[in-house]
Amino acid sequence: MYIFLKDKSLIMISILIFTLSMVLGISLVLSVGNDGSIPGMDESNAYIKREGLSGAWFFFTQNLKVALMLISGILVFGITTIPILLINGFWLGSVLGSQYISGKSILDLFLAIVPHGIFEIPALLLAGYLGLVGLKFYFYETNWKRLFSVLALLIIMLMVAALIEGFLTPKYI
């Protein structure tokens, strides 16, 4: 991944923001110790029962929207990227903590997240990197070929993640 990235500090900032907010989400949910239910996550929720090609398309478009919001930071000095990374990391941590409290084992959580998350999370972190490029975008020469290569890579990663999330992940949930 570093082959594409000129400024490794920006990807490290993206990873750090996401990871710390995820840990905060897990910690807060576990410290509250509720019943594990997540408000709005019932059978009518759009994320429930998404399988097959229509599910894969749904997950791809949802993740692409998040990626585009993260990338939008390139236009405004990374200002929009940072809160979106915080919110997404916190949300993932909160969901993991809530599911753990509700009785899911760590193995169940691992099987539900890792198969598609191994592609999805790095793709979103790459989108965060692209958004944080806005911190330097206006002051230094930009290698457009490199930026578009990173963009192409993250789109491919989101496609793979969506296919796995639509076809494989439902078997483990």
Closest alpha carbon to 7 in 149, 142, 148: 142
Give the model's pLDDT for residue 137.
Answer: 75
CA distances from 152 to 84, 129, 130 (A): 21, 14, 12
Give the model's pLDDT for residue 43.
Answer: 52
- Note whether 28 and 97 are within 8 A (CB): yes
Give the model's pLDDT for residue 164.
Answer: 94
Helices (H), 33-143: 52-71, 81-101, 106-132, 134-137
Tokens, residue 93: 């941590």
pLDDT one digit per residue (tens) for the chain, 173 residues: 444 566 788 999 999 999 999 999 999 999 987 655 555 555 545 456 688 899 999 999 999 999 999 999 999 988 999 999 999 999 999 999 999 998 889 998 998 899 999 999 999 999 999 999 988 877 888 788 888 999 999 999 999 999 999 998 887 66
